[in-house]
Structure 1
Amino acid sequence: MRSSERLRRRLAAVLLGAAMLAGPALAEAPPQGAATPRRVVSMNLCTDQIAMLLAAPGQLVSVSDLARNPRMSAMADEARGFAANHGRAEEIYLLRPDLVIAGAFASGPTVALLRRLGLRVEVLEPAESIAAIRAEIVHVGALLGRHEAAADLLARFDRGVARSARREDRGRAALYYANGFTSGRDTLAGEILAQAGYRNIAADYGIATTTHLPMELLVMAQPDRLITGARWPGQSRGEALLEHPALARAAPRLAEVTDRDWVCGTPFILRAIEALR
């Protein structure tokens, strides 16, 4: 075992022991919401981007390592200006943050340990609609004490949404991903589709969320446009389904849309909407 790995494990054990000893007192400590945080850490790809858009210079000290991935992050270049974290409690604790922003699907034990160590951790639900994106901009702006920056970003986003609003019926479209999944109206992808002026064939089958759609039903629906995610390196059997010749015959137009503009509920969905035009 390398010395760095041994050190990391020892540090994790020390932090866990400290949390167990101090647990009750720290767990009952009042939240630090009154003061504007000076050292903020984000440990979620989507909160990374909202935080980078809103934080004051020097206020945000670390974002997740995924924020640097240009296939997943719309702000990969900007993210390289911040320290990267991997969502581990010990590395985040050593950054001495006074606010940690996590996503709802973050590791529960990590969040619990950080809180027991006395850190303020705010957990945000994923933004799955334009209304939810607006609410998250306001929420993160309040967490950072950046109300004016949030109001400015919100105004620019609202103007973009108004410009992108559908002005014509562009026909019927299908969203189709690896392993034969599709998304309905109650998802971010579904809202992007509707905002661009398309009718989602998922509604024909009573699908409102993200679930499996047999290829036979997609082909029978005969959509005007078929939208799939960008391909990833490797030989994924799940993605091999997207190369099936039946899909090429199912719709006259195929749009391979960059995943990074779709994956998170941020103002960058405006680029995804524009790409569909």
Structure 2
Amino acid sequence: MRLILLLALLLAGCSGAAPARVGERGGGIVSLNPCADQLLLALVPPQRIAAISHYSQDPRATSLPLDVARQFRATAGTAEEVIALAPDLVIASSFTPPATRAAFERAGLRTLYLDSPTTIAASRAQIAEVAAAVGAAGRGGALDARIADALAATRGNGPGPSALLFIGGDLANGDGTLLHEMMRHVGMRDAAADYGLAMTGRLPVETIIADPPAAILSPDAGGRTATMRRRLLAASGAATREASFPRTLVNCGGPTIPPALERLAAIRRSLGA
């Protein structure tokens, strides 16, 4: 009998079962917010992340490299699948439906609901909030210090050259946003207001041609809308320059702020006075 048990244990240890992905064994932290996904990766070891949002595995919405995001379990954000994971903490959006919030509460889950920061100061405050919630004050402080260093290194003189930053297609970024503040910080003038655009909204190329900006920043250099806009502006004789602004820098603050500032500052330098 002892020999049989020993053989069974050896066979079990040599089984060809595939290793579990990060977070597949349950517990830990579940994030339902793509911006919280990337913030968690900056604050805690991967083993503490039980699941991330499905948005981070979508190239149109992620702020993470896809090869990194796909190492983690992802959820669609339903109450049933999150409760089944029995996490220590759920980080969700402030837009989470009341019914889902109520289900989390009935299940006794510890939850943290995050807003979408529209200023650098608010984003830094959110880093401190999440760091405190996950017991990572040291890493949170280090990330905040990196943001402070990036702000000091990229400060420019405004209002500077006018620029439009497209989030995708003909959807342009306007006033009252985190990207707007970062553009101003490096010394670029957000031209959205020239076309009567507040916050974020659609801006067709026909509107731009009448008064073209010095630069257009876009994450979709090869997209159909961007290609058409480029051709029409060239045909109109506009001297507008185009620069790539990676999609992974568009959606979130937090760890994205330093590379976003550095990219914007590089574009600002390329435009000259």
TM-score (norm 2): 0.75
Which of residues 168, 174, 189 in structure 1 aligns to 2:164? 174
Equivalence for 1:257? 245
Equivalence for 1:49? 38
How far did residue 167 of structure 1 move? 4.7
1:247 aligns with 2:233: yes
**Aligned pair in 2 of structure 1 residues 254, 135: CA closer, same or farther (>3 Å)?**
same
How far did residue 138 of structure 1 move? 0.4
Which of residues 214, 220, 230 in structure 1 aligns to 2:220? 230
How far did residue 198 of structure 1 move? 0.9
How far did residue 61 of structure 1 move? 1.6
Q: Are the counterparts in 1 of residues 175 and 200 from structure 2 also a CA contact under 8 Å?
A: no
How far did residue 184 of structure 1 move? 1.7
- Which moves more between the two structures, 114-123 or 169-178? 169-178
1: CA distance between counterparts of 2:258 and 2:136?
23
**Structure of greater Rg:** 2
2: CA distance between counterparts of 1:67 and 1:76?
7
Q: Are the counterparts in 2 of residues 46 and 264 from structure 1 also a CA contact under 8 Å?
A: yes
**Aligned pair in 2 of structure 1 residues 254, 150: CA closer, same or farther (>3 Å)?**
same
Equivalence for 2:55? 66
**Aligned pair in 2 of structure 1 residues 101, 211: CA closer, same or farther (>3 Å)?**
same
Deviations, residues 173-212 of structure 1 (Å, cap 9, x unaligned): 1124556332222112212322332111123345331123
2: CA distance between counterparts of 1:133 and 1:207?
24
Q: Are the counterparts in 1 of residues 89 and 111 from structure 2 also a CA contact under 8 Å?
A: yes
1:198 aligns with 2:188: yes
**Aligned pair in 2 of structure 1 residues 179, 146: CA closer, same or farther (>3 Å)?**
closer
How far did residue 213 of structure 1 move? 3.2
SS at match of 1:267: helix
1: CA distance between counterparts of 2:222 and 2:32?
23
How far did residue 58 of structure 1 move? 3.0
SS at match of 1:50: helix
How far did residue 169 of structure 1 move? 5.6
**Aligned pair in 2 of structure 1 residues 110, 173: CA closer, same or farther (>3 Å)?**
same
TM-score (norm 1): 0.74
- Which moves more between the two structures, 204-213 or 155-164? 204-213
Percent same amino acid at aligned positions?
34
Which of residues 256, 260, 273 in structure 2 aligns to 1:268? 256
1:75-224 equivalent positions in 2, closer than 5 A = 75-167=65-157, 170-176=160-166, 178=168, 180-224=170-214
**Aligned pair in 2 of structure 1 residues 247, 269: CA closer, same or farther (>3 Å)?**
farther
Letter in 1 for 2:255: P
Letter in 1 for 2:225: A
Aligned length: 235
Letter in 2 for 1:262: V
**Structure 2 gap segments, 5+ residues each:** 1-26, 267-273
2: CA distance between counterparts of 1:262 and 1:106?
22
